[in-house]
Structure 1
Amino acid sequence: MHPLKMEEKKQITIHNIKSNQYRQIHSDGASAGITPSGLINISFYSHRNVIPKGTIFELENDGRLGKLVGITDDSKSGIVREYDFGVHMDVNTCKSIRDLMDEKIKEYEKLTK
């Protein structure tokens, strides 16, 4: 091989497709832990107000709903932290995602300066 010629690297194309279960969600945060088998688990959640178990309305003479009187006694109060999904991954995948997030944070900070 001629000393000035560079060896060509092999290439491969990765085709990205979305599964039927693919969805995008909003996340207010996440919690994480390590599974007994050594994988890292991260579960994403969103916050929302509670949904009443039941609502009580006045009933008009003609059977239509009138004004809202209140919620049933068995309804909860406060905020719900609803976990939408969790992901198990090995430490190398976790590091890759961390690096990707660091890169996107830097990109965002450049755009918003």
Structure 2
Amino acid sequence: MNKSQLPNKIRYEYQEESNLAMQYAHGVWGGINPQGEIEINFYTEQDKIPTNSERYLKPDGSFGPEITLTEEDTRIVTRKINAKVLINRHTARALLGWLAEKLENLEAEELRNFEMEFNKNGRKQ
């Protein structure tokens, strides 16, 4: 191929890192960093596990109820950051478009499944 010629196509080949692990996310937190990049922190949520608990022993030697010291009017939820991703503006736009396309496909599939189930149930009546 001549240096001034452009190829007809580009092939992207994907490789996974040996330590790659699937992560689940309940949400995302982040913002724009001082370098103008978007920082995305994917997290999962769970109720905070108490640092300790206690049980009283009854006179017969059996256990009483488990007691934890918590604030009664406050529910504490722990957000564990599973992955941090930095992207630039161009990648953010591409990600936005990619997510919009995937959501449209997912919603169209859900609608098809609903219509199939509706038609199937309608025939049974």
On whether the aligned pair clears a TM of 0.5, the verdict is yes
Partner residue in 2 for 1:36: 34
DSSP 3-state at the match of 1:108: helix
Shift of the alpha carbon at 1:105? 0.4
Tell me which protein shows more helix as a share of its residues: 2
Tell me which protein shows more strand as a share of its residues: 1
DSSP 3-state at the match of 1:112: helix
Shift of the alpha carbon at 1:66? 4.5
Match for 1:15: what amino acid?
A: E
Question: In structure 1, how many angstroms separate the alpha carbons of the residues matched to 2:63 and 2:39?
Answer: 48
**Structure 2 matches for 1:1-113, cutoff 5 A?**
9-57=7-55, 66=63, 68-71=65-68, 77-113=75-111
Gaps of 5+ in 1: 1-7
**8 Å contact from structure 1 (residues 53, 72) kept in 2:** no
Shift of the alpha carbon at 1:57? 3.8
**8 Å contact from structure 1 (residues 55, 68) kept in 2:** no
User: Taking structure 2 as the reference length, what is the TM-score of the superposition?
Assistant: 0.66
Match for 1:71: what amino acid?
A: T
Over the aligned positions, Cα root-mean-square deviation in angstroms equals 2.9
Shift of the alpha carbon at 1:50? 0.7
Shift of the alpha carbon at 1:59? 6.3
